[in-house]
């Protein structure tokens, strides 16, 4: 009887292995996701009972009980233990309370770049029960005034380094009753020692309380303030620390701006929850990146996609492989950079994520090899059983940005490998937990839609197009609004940029659609920057056209090229497309001395685009 039993066991083992490979059971059931577990909800409930619901409370426990002598922060050669840093936070908190009279739940605008002092003031505001409004320190003019007025702060507390951005706005801000204050390291060091921050300042905080405002990048208008609630702030930090398996011995490097959700929620707060070391760069620079990473012995680096492209296209650094990095953690790693980045810099794990400060849902891909390369997530049978009814992809008309609906008026779901906007189901009874914009009800409601699959249902728009293949791998396609339609076909700007980025003479590229006279839809255009060693006179425009034509369908090949000395980015390294779309390719509107080229109908080489060519399109003499 032993042989049949053994054969049965072997057969069962093989079947289990097959089912796991096909349906990703082990992946879905593992704790390597950012979905909170029952234990984490129990942890949160315990903190509610203890009335310890701020990141300051967690930092205080690390500083006074758990890891007081552990290095918390490394910044430009300066090191602070948790206890040392806590003492500075206490001094800053007393200054805010006693000198400025900041009240519990009062919103205070904090405006500065990455520095120990920025962190001290944030934790101090948190510790006295106030609410920091994180201002993008690059802002000036109307955008800066708008953000400060929106949060109705009595103070704008700014790093002295950004004073040139603030002072032009001083008359308008002061007329509105806003007092301008500046800080630097000498100011914080000079504050007197003082007693502990009272627990009573934080007793009224609940899971639904506002704990911070993080602003959108403002690429589609003035920035909107995204509300961070207590529950979301605590769970994101705690669960991310668990997902990344952070321990006190880990050193976590970021040079992303702390005013943004990526550095704040996916690096800073998880580091505090774990009691590990934050290695902070002032800002991204190829000159300082590898020296800081190498000298600090960082284990994890945080990235956004364009940071990786900058590093990969830059000249070699003697330190780019002389480091301790085991994981790159971030979002937006493009396919043409992914594997070359891993190989060149010898980083075993690329941990790609998808999430948004003003969004719902998330995806994660801890990638070590070819199967999930370029993906933002992997969904198996169990995931679909648990979440398939609450997250869907629907087909979109990219011209109108409206959902494609069937004959009954309901949304059509995207199939395997079909791009679709991701929607998340909302419970009308729990809208308080859905993303909201501060004092902007119209924008908040605009992210919601009803009657999607049945009358009365309610869903949240992600604004992002994704596709999922037959193996459960999920890929980011484009931001809705960036995808455009040409020759009755949808064109993904990201996919076209990936192809053009592989051409050896191109360092960076930004793809977008432009309106052309007498043409429906938008024609493809690509603004590009030359690789460092390429002269303008040496550009192989025929080779570039052949490269694109060999790898893209004809409708997706950019008709227009715009040669520029540099691309425009937001403070969080997101490519700006607004000015390029507005100027289009009319030679009289193209600014900055940029040069425009085009691929005339039927030709296979890009040539200069002249005023006469534009007039030919306008008159109908030339048809695309």
Triad 343, 541, 495: Cα angle to 5°:
50
Tens digits of per-residue pLDDT, 123-174?
A: 999 999 999 999 999 888 888 999 999 999 999 999 999 999 999 999 999 9
Confidence check: pLDDT of 580 > 80: yes
Please tell me the number of Cα atoms within 13 Å of 461 on its side-chain side.
18
The C-alpha atoms of residue 246 and residue 527 are separated, in whole angstroms, by 40
What is the set of domains in the chain, with CATH numbers? 39-283 (3.40.50.12780), 379-479 (2.30.38.10), 484-619 (3.30.300.30)
Contact 499, 551 (CB under 8 A): yes
Structural tokens at position 180: 């301008």
Using 50, 70 and 90 to split pLDDT, how confident is the model at 218? low
Cα 281 versus chain centre, distance: 17
Helix-then-strand count for the chain, H and E = 22, 29
Q: Which residues pair with 460 in a beta bridge?
A: 424, 448
Confidence check: pLDDT of 96 > 80: yes
Q: Which of 54-63, 419-428, 455-464 has the highest mean pLDDT?
A: 54-63
Tens digits of per-residue pLDDT, 203-215?
A: 999 999 999 999 9
Please name the residue that has the structure tokens 């685009």.
Answer: 609
Residue 182 phi, psi (nearest 5): -125, 145
> What pLDDT is stored for residue 589 in this prediction?
93
Q: Residue range 194-222: average pLDDT?
A: 87
Q: Residue range 190-199: average pLDDT?
A: 91
Using 50, 70 and 90 to split pLDDT, how confident is the model at 7? very low
The C-alpha atoms of residue 182 and residue 111 are separated, in whole angstroms, by 9
The C-alpha atoms of residue 3 and residue 88 are separated, in whole angstroms, by 71
The C-alpha atoms of residue 592 and residue 597 are separated, in whole angstroms, by 15
> What pLDDT is stored for residue 478 in this prediction?
81
> What pLDDT is stored for residue 219 in this prediction?
56
Q: Which residues pair with 172 in a beta bridge?
A: none
Structural tokens at position 619: 């008159």
Using alpha carbons, list the distances in angstroms from residue 433 to 426, 429, 457, 460.
Answer: 9, 10, 17, 12
Instruction: Pick the closest to residue 252 from 302, 295, 294 (CA basis).
Output: 302
> What pLDDT is stored for residue 355 in this prediction?
87
Tens digits of per-residue pLDDT, 465-482?
A: 999 999 999 999 888 777
Percent of the chain at pLDDT > 90 equals 65
Contact 412, 406 (CB under 8 A): yes
Using alpha carbons, list the distances in angstroms from residue 240 to 56, 270, 327, 395.
Answer: 17, 6, 14, 31
Please name the residue that has the structure tokens 């509300």.
Answer: 227
Tens digits of per-residue pLDDT, 47-91?
A: 999 999 999 999 999 999 999 999 999 999 999 999 999 999 999
Q: In terms of pLDDT, which residue wins out, 426 or 305?
A: 426
Say which range, 31-35, 293-297, 445-449, has the weakest mean pLDDT: 31-35
Contact 91, 138 (CB under 8 A): no
The C-alpha atoms of residue 188 and residue 94 are separated, in whole angstroms, by 12
Q: Residue range 536-541: average pLDDT?
A: 94
> What pLDDT is stored for residue 613 in this prediction?
93
End-to-end CA distance of the chain: 76
> What pLDDT is stored for residue 429 in this prediction?
80
Q: Which residues pair with 423 in a beta bridge?
A: 392, 461
Contact 109, 148 (CB under 8 A): yes
């Amino acid at each position: 009887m032993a042989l049949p039993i053994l054969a049965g066991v072997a057969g069962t083992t093989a079947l289990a292995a097959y089912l796991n490979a096909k349906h990703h059971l082990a992946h879905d059931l593992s704790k390597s996701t950012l979905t909170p577990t029952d234990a984490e909800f129990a942890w949160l409930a315990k903190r509610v009972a203890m009335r310890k619901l701020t990141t300051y409370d967690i930092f205080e426990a690390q500083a006074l009980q758990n890891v007081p002598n552990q290095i918390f922060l490394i910044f430009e050669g300066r090191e602070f233990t948790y206890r040392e840093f806590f003492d500075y936070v206490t001094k800053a908190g007393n200054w805010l309370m006693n000198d400025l009279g900041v009240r519990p739940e009062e919103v205070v605008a904090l405006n500065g770049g990455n520095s120990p002092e920025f962190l001290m003031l944030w934790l101090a505001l948190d510790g006295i029960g106030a609410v920091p409004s994180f201002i993008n320190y690059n802002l000036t003019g109307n955008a800066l005034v708008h953000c400060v007025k929106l949060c109705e702060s009595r103070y704008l507390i700014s790093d002295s380094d950004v004073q040139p951005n603030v002072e032009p706005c001083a008359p308008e801000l002061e007329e509105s009753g806003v007092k301008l204050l500046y800080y630097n390291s000498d100011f914080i060091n000079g504050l007197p020692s003082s007693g502990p921050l009272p627990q009573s300042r934080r007793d009224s905080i609940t899971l639904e309380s506002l704990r911070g405002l993080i602003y959108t990048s403002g690429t589609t208008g003035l920035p909107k303030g995204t509300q961070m609630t207590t529950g979301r702030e605590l769970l994101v930090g705690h669960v991310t620390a668990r997902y990344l398996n952070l321990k006190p011995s880990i050193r976590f490097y970021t040079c992303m701006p702390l005013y943004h959700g990526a550095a704040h929620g996916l690096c800073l707060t998880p580091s505090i929850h774990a009691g590990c070391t934050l290695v902070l760069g002032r800002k991204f620079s190829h000159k300082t990146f590898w020296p800081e990473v190498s000298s600090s012995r960082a284990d994890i680096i945080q990235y956004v996609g364009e940071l990786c492209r900058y590093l990969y296209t830059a000249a070699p650094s003697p330190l780019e492989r002389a480091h301790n990095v085991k994981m790159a953690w971030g979002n937006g790693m493009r396919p043409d950079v992914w594997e070359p980045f891993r190989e060149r810099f010898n980083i075993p794990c690329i941990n790609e994520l998808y999430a948004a400060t003003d969004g719902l849902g998330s995806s994660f891909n801890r990638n070590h090899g070819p199967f999930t390369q370029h993906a933002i997530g992997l969904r198996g049978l169990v995931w679909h059983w648990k979440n398939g009814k609450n997250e869907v992809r629907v087909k979109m008309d990219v011209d109108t940005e409206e959902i494609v609906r069937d004959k009954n008026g309901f949304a059509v779901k995207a199939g395997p490998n079909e791009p679709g906007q991701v929607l998340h189901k909302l419970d009308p009874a729990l809208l308080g937990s859905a993303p909201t914009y501060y004092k902007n009800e119209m924008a908040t409601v605009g992210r919601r839609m009803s009657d999607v699959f049945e009358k009365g249902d309610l869903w949240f728009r992600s604004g992002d197009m994704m596709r999922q293949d037959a193996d459960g791998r999920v890929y980011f396609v484009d931001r809705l609004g960036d995808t455009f339609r040409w020759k009755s076909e949808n064109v993904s700007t990201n996919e076209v940029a990936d192809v053009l980025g592989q051409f050896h003479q191109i360092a960076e590229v930004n793809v977008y659609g432009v309106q052309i006279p007498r043409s429906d839809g938008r024609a493809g255009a690509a603004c590009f920057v030359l690789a460092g060693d390429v002269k303008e006179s040496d550009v192989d425009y025929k080779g570039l056209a052949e490269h694109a034509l060999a790898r893209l369908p004809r409708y997706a090949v950019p008709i227009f090229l715009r040669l520029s000395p540099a691309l425009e980015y937001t403070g969080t390294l997101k490519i700006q497309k607004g000015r390029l779309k507005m100027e289009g390719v009319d030679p009289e509107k193209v600014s900055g001395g940029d040069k425009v080229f085009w691929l005339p109908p039927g030709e296979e080489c890009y040539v200069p685009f002249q005023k006469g060519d534009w007039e030919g399109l306008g008159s109908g003499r030339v048809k695309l």
